[in-house]
Amino acid sequence: MAARKKSNSLENRLEALRDDLEALQSDMKGLAGGVGDAATARLNEMLRNTEDMADQLTSQVEEWTNDNAEQLRETVREQPLVACAVAMGIGALLGVLLLRR
């Protein structure tokens, strides 16, 4: 009879241990999901901030270009040979940089 009590007691303990392990596994899955959700939310926030910064930069470049386009046209009209030489130099530099890759 004592052996049966020990056997039942051991089975009960093993069953309790299984239940505890299942609960721990469930808790770990929930924790992992929570961390994933937090990371996704943070990534989305960073993407929104990056988009906002890109929009601001685009607006600033557009404004600068509009402000300086007329001055650039006047300079090209006044010094066409210099403008051509500068354009050729920039083209050569870009060509060298692109061929290096």
Query: Whole-angstrom Cα distance, residue 19 to residue 13?
Result: 10
Position 4 pLDDT exceeds 70: no
Q: Are 16 and 23 in contact (CB under 8 A)?
A: no
- Token code pair at residue 1: 């009879």
Q: Provide the pLDDT confidence category of residue 2 given band limits of 50, 70 and 90.
A: low
Structurally, the chain folds into a number of domains equal to 1
40-62 pLDDT, tens digit each: 888 888 888 889 998 898 889 88
Task: State the DSSP H helix or E strand holding residue 35, giving kind and residue range, or none if neither.
Answer: helix 2-78
With a threshold of 0.85, does the pTM exceed it?
Answer: no
Judge whether 64 and 72 are in contact, CB under 8 Å. no
In which domain, by residue range, is 71 found?
2-100
What does the angle CA 66 – CA 67 – CA 72 come to, to the nearest 5 degrees? Answer: 90
Q: Is 100 a residue whose pLDDT tops 80? A: yes
Binning pLDDT at 50, 70 and 90, where does residue 101 land? Answer: low
